Amino acid sequence: MSTTITAVDVHDVRFPTARDGDGSDAINRGDYSATYVELRTDAGPTGAGFTFTNGRGNEITCAAVHALAHHVTGRTVEEIAAEPVAFWRSLTADVQLRWLGPEKGVIHMAAGALVNAVWDLRAKLADRPLWRFLADLPTAELVANIDFRHITDALTPDEAASILDKGLIGLADRCAELDRDGFPSYTTSVGWLGYPDDKVRALTRAAYGQGWRAMKMKVGGELADDLRRARIIRAEIGPDALLMMDANQVWDVDEAIEKMAVLAEVEPYWIEEPTHADDVLGHARIAQAVAPVRVATGEVAANRVMFKQFLQAGALGVMQIDACRVAGVNEVLAELLLAAKFGVPVCPHAGGVGLCEYVQHLAIFDYLRVGTALTGRMVEYVDHLHEHFVDPVRTRDGRYLLPDQPGYSSTMRPESIARFSFPDGPAWR
């Protein structure tokens, strides 16, 4: 029995979030959107994947998925699983399309949507949530899913196998622990730049009441405003809870160091994206200067080669991965193993639309099979747009509960796709 992917459907789905100031920061103000991909098959289940975009331009990533779709249509799930790197490279190293990246931006995000849809399909066919499906794969098969080209100077297949083998020890105990307690998270819903002080205070108080002990605020506006809002949050959450800051790349390197010297007053746990996301050497300088405040980045890190360098340079105290900025689960596996090799905890980026649904699986797999410690590990949580998913995230007391439906939790409700399709859905007409 084999399952053939017979067609790739692409939907341009956009949610009008910009008008409320949700998701506003020093750089972005978006209508959270998804380039949503459905793989139809001859076997019943469909594979669902998407990449997240910020509104305008979602048609560009849709065009990129169309340009790559011929590498997927007509393939069987079994042949993809048998030669996963060959399949992955057919998308990421197409001899004509690679030029448009290479391995970055629109074309890489589109590859990620397709790769993730295949993983959703594989997990559904195995009748397992993706985290469980991955955690149960033999070490050799996990290693075979990783393209080690361009990262062997930092991580070899043998080193990866050794990390994954060690991850088998105590796996059942860690799984039972998560089933009982859930996975730690933090919330970013309290401190968007677009929110007035009173709203920040009220949201912080509410989040604390719901159990969250780690909150993230946006910085990068006027320093006095950043400090005032930070003091409000710190006053609400007390000295023991974690306060993280996110500058969304707005500062220059020296400016980041100067501003953080002031913001250190409120004892931030990390500063996220203090400068341009491509600036490995800049992040390394900042990390040295702002310690013990940790530097975090990764939500727009283009690929595994960028993560490799951030780790080699000692630039990261916390590594943030994104589920759909890179080319899907295969590349994330490489990133999780690189982080483990360098001893840096992974705290996935989420929010937007569907990112929480995606990354919970990756964080859980990371803990179960790669990182094996919860210290310093938490998943971002933003309370937006979950209602559009068939299997939305569930949280309790500031923790993610284990997803139990088959697949990657990436399937969107048909009525949401129809209503928010751009430009012809009723929400946009």
Residues annotated catalytic, as ranges: 218, 349
As a whole number of Å, the end-to-end CA separation of the chain is 44
Q: Shortest approach of a second copy to residue 381 CB, angstroms?
A: 20
- Which residue, 104 or 229, has its beta carbon nearer to a second copy? 104
Closest listed residue to residue 380, CA positions, set 396, 357, 403, 397: 357
Whichever of 98 and 205 has its CB closer to a second copy, that residue is: 98
Distance CA 375, CA 397 (A): 18
For residue 247, what are the CA distances in angstroms to 68, 122, 289? 34, 37, 16
- Measured from the CB atom, the residue of 31 and 226 that comes closer to a second copy is 31
Of 238, 195, 196, 194, nearest in space to 214 by CA = 238
Assigned token pair, 420: 């928010």
Name, in order, each residue with C-beta under 8 angstroms of 246's C-beta and a sequence gap of 6 or more.
25, 188, 216, 217, 218, 219, 271, 272, 273
- Whole-angstrom CA distances from 43 to 5, 115, 130, 412 are 9, 19, 19, 20
Q: What is the DSSP string of 201-221?
A: HHHHHHHHHTT--EEEEE--S
At its nearest, how many Å lie between a second copy and the CB of residue 103? 8
Q: Between 111 and 215, name the residue whose CB sits nearer to a second copy.
A: 111
The b/e string for 94-105 (b: 16+ C-beta within 10 A; e otherwise) is beebeebbebbb
Amino acid at site 97: L
**Environment class of 107 (CB within 10 Å of its CB; exposed 0-12, middle 13-18, buried 19+):** buried
Residue type, 145: N
What is the distance, to the nearest Å, from the Cα of residue 71 to the centroid of all Cα atoms in its chain? 25
Least distance CB 272 / a second copy (angstroms): 15
Q: Is the separation of the CB atoms in 286 and 256 below 8 Å?
A: yes
For a second copy, which is the closer residue by CB, 99 or 198? 99
Phi, psi of 312 (to 5 degrees): -60, -35
Residue 215 or 256 having the CB closest to a second copy: 256
Residues facing 12 on adjacent strands: 35
User: Residue 380 Cβ, how far from a second copy at the closest point, in Å?
Assistant: 16
Q: Which of 276, 268, 8, 227 is nearest to 118 (CA)?
A: 8
The answer to whether the CB of 301 falls within 8 A of the CB of 307 is: yes
| Helix, strand, coil percentages in the chain from 3-state DSSP, rounded to 5 | 45, 15, 40
Specify the residue, 115 or 178, whose C-beta has the smaller distance to a second copy: 115
H/E element, 94: none
For residue 205, which amino acid is it? R
**Shortest distance, position 86 Cβ to a second copy, whole Å:** 16
| Minimum distance from residue 13 beta carbon to a second copy (Å) | 15
CB of 154 to a second copy, least distance (A): 9
Residue 221: CB minimum distance to a second copy, A = 14
Report, in Å, the least distance between residue 317 CB and a second copy. Answer: 18
Closest CB to a second copy among residues 61, 410:
61
List of residues contacting a second copy (CB under 8 A): 18, 27-31, 53-57, 59-61, 63-64, 67, 93-109, 149-153, 249, 252-255, 275-282, 285, 300, 302-303, 305-306, 308-309, 312-313
**Shorter beta-carbon distance to a second copy: residue 53 or 204:** 53
